[in-house]
């Protein structure tokens, strides 16, 4: 799905986000998104680790 966007599409999305949220709010949104993604990855790793431990027993 995202492979069809291309560079012009990404630039358009970034410009629209900048217009909608403004330059002051955009870094906060990016930081919050990054924290959410980091927490999701951590939880996924823990689940797969727990799943792997269950299969060994």
What is this structure's pTM?
0.57
Structure tokens at 46: 């823990």
CB 51 within 8 A of CB 43: no
- pLDDT at residue number 39: 96
pLDDT of residue 10: 85
The per-residue pLDDT for 26 is 87
- Does residue 1 surpass a pLDDT of 60? no
Give the pLDDT confidence of 16-53 residue by residue, as tens digits. Answer: 989 998 988 989 988 999 999 999 999 999 888 876 66
């Amino acid at each position: 799905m995202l492979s069809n966007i291309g560079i012009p599409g990404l630039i358009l999305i970034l410009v629209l986000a900048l217009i909608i949220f403004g330059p002051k709010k955009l870094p906060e949104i990016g930081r919050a998104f990054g924290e959410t993604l980091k927490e999701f990855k951590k939880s996924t790793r823990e689940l797969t680790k727990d799943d792997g431990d269950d299969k060994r027993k």
